[in-house]
């Protein structure tokens, strides 16, 4: 009688472990599938969003004998406005082809409205050559760096891999 009850307990234990393992496999499948889909959605939405220009506020000060470089990535037709006031300064703007758009020297006040004629990275350089602090204000439309694409692609690839592992967990 002792052997029979031990055998029955062993069978119950094995069946219990099998049910728990089977439920865990189903739960793992759903968790991995939902996670993979979430990674893919976040990566895809982020890729779309990073190509939409956003207005970025320019508000900074520049100490004596310092240089400030702003490099917005602009679409054709994107706009920017920059106002520089205070000490004496030199200021220039280059387009994506490195052609000089504006070059100002030895000024103490300047305002410029930029409309991008070409798509790409513009360079705005301000050098404080005076003996006081310089104030830089304005705003410019810019979009994400091409380096951001690497992170978004990693999210997409991770999502695909997680989906594959989820499929393997379901059908293995």
Architecture of domain 54-142: Sandwich (2.60)
| 11-34 pLDDT per residue, tens | 766 666 555 555 577 777 888 899
CB contact burial 134-149 (16+ within 10 A = b; e otherwise): bebebbbbbbbeeeee
| 95-115 pLDDT per residue, tens | 999 999 999 999 999 999 999
pLDDT at residue 27, rounded to an integer: 79
Domains of the chain by residue range: 2-50+148-171, 54-142
What does the H/E/C string look like for the chain? CHHHHHHHHHHHHHHHHHHHHHHHHHHHHHHHHHHHHHHHHHHHHHHHHHCCCEEEEEEEEECCCCEEEECCEECCCCEEEEEEEEEEEEEEEECCCCCEEEEEEEEEEEEEEEECCCCEECEEEEEECCCCCEEEEEEEEECCCCCHHHHHHHHHHHHHHHHHHHHHHHHC
pLDDT at residue 145, rounded to an integer: 78
pLDDT at residue 82, rounded to an integer: 94
Each residue's pLDDT, cut to its tens digit, for the chain (172 residues) gives 556 667 767 676 666 655 555 557 777 788 889 999 999 999 989 888 888 888 988 888 999 999 999 999 998 999 999 999 988 999 999 999 999 999 999 999 999 999 999 999 999 999 999 889 999 999 999 888 777 788 888 989 999 999 888 888 777 6
pLDDT at residue 166, rounded to an integer: 84
pLDDT at residue 127, rounded to an integer: 95
pLDDT at residue 19, rounded to an integer: 58
pLDDT at residue 149, rounded to an integer: 81
pLDDT at residue 21, rounded to an integer: 55
pLDDT at residue 150, rounded to an integer: 84
């Amino acid at each position: 009688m002792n052997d029979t009850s031990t055998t029955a307990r062993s069978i119950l234990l094995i069946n219990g472990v099998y049910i728990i393992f089977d439920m865990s496999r189903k739960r793992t499948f759903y968790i991995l599938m939902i996670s993979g889909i979430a990674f893919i959605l976040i990566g895809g939405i982020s890729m779309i969003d990073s190509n939409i220009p956003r207005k970025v506020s320019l508000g900074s000060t520049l100490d004596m004998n310092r240089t400030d470089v702003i490099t917005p990535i602009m679409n054709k037709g994107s706009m920017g406005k920059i106002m520089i006031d205070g000490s004496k300064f030199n200021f220039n703007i280059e387009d994506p082809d490195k052609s000089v758009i504006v070059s100002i020297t030895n000024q103490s006040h300047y305002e410029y409205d930029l409309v991008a004629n070409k798509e790409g990275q513009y360079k705005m350089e301000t050098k404080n050559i005076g003996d006081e602090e310089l104030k830089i204000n304005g705003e410019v439309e810019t979009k994400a760096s091409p380096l951001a694409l690497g992170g978004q692609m990693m999210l997409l690839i991770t999502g695909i891999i997680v989906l594959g592992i989820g499929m393997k967990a379901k059908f293995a």
